[in-house]
Amino acid sequence: MKKVLKRIGSIAIDVLIIIVFIVSSLVVVASITANRTGGQPSVMGYVFSSVQTDSMQGTINKGDFVVGKLIDDNTEIKVGDIISFYDYYEGKQIVVTHTVVEILDPDTDDPGYITKGDNEERTDEVVKTRKTVQSVYKFRIPFLGGFIDFLKTPLGFILCLVLPLLGFIAWQAYKLVSLYLKSKKLELEEEAEKISKTKSELSEEEKNAIIAEYLAKQAQAEQEQGAKPAEQKTQASKADASRSNTAQKSQGAQPKKQNNASGNKRKGKR
């Protein structure tokens, strides 16, 4: 059971890290293309944005992640469609997502679109044209927009892209080391099993021969160890005998010198 849970946990961690890495990578790639869509990232004809206001509250909430399809010449826009269009706020170009409530001159090549936020009482002042419409709303993912906004910050980039990547590398390295150690353990177990089988397959004569050889080597080693003290004793005895002879010779030479000295004294008296 423990092995199954461990396996499931390992797979779950791998999947989670891969999902975070893929989402983060898509956001980074999409952000690179943002300049072509008025500051909003896009991938394969779809544009992404995070809702910053409550103007569409109830239909699209603040903090939602919105996905829209970029319009082309074949795109048809109807009353009730939610569209994203370019507008200006404090001198900067922004993208606003509102609902089409009326179409002016629908049969012409350049109809006008009157839009309104679902949470607002008034319609937007400026009539939109196809040139100012960016995309048509497709679906939303609640709360993901706030995460995307955080991901665009330096701290979010580090926490959500760099750290998961490092974590994935560290996790894979850990798995490789564990796999290597496990393989080594299996090799040692197989080697031990082979040795055990080899011993069990030996005949009684072979076992007795191995034991006899081992005992003979032990006895030889003990003899060599016992011979060393005896040899040391012999050398010590020889050294003692040599010192004794030297002492006796020196003692025998001293009386002779004394006799010679007394003889010389007597001659001097005469």
Distance CA 194, CA 186 (A): 12
Q: Residue 118 above 60 pLDDT?
A: yes
Q: Residue 27 above 70 pLDDT?
A: no
Q: What is the pLDDT of residues 139-182, one digit of tens each?
A: 999 988 887 778 778 887 787 778 877 887 888 888 888 888 88
Distance CA 160, CA 249 (A): 100
CATH T-level fold of 33-152: Umud Fragment, subunit A (2.10.109)
Q: Residue 262 above 90 pLDDT?
A: no
With beta carbons less than 8 A apart as the criterion, state whether 27 and 41 touch.
Answer: yes
126-135, 158-167, 175-184, 201-210: segment of lowest average pLDDT: 201-210
Report residue 252 as tokens: 């025998």
Q: How many CB atoms lie within 10 A of CB 167?
A: 15
Distance CA 207, CA 214 (A): 11
Report residue 98 as tokens: 């509102």
Q: What is the DSSP string of 50-92?
A: E--SSTTTTTS-TT-EEEEEEP-TT----TT-EEEEEEEETTE
Q: Quick one: which of 105, 103, 84, 104 has its CA closest to 95? A: 84
Three-state SS string across 119-144, please?
A: CCCCCCCCCECCCCEEEEEEEEECCH
Structural domain boundaries of the chain? 33-152, 206-245
Q: What is the pLDDT of residues 51-83, one digit of tens each?
A: 888 999 989 999 898 999 999 988 999 999 999
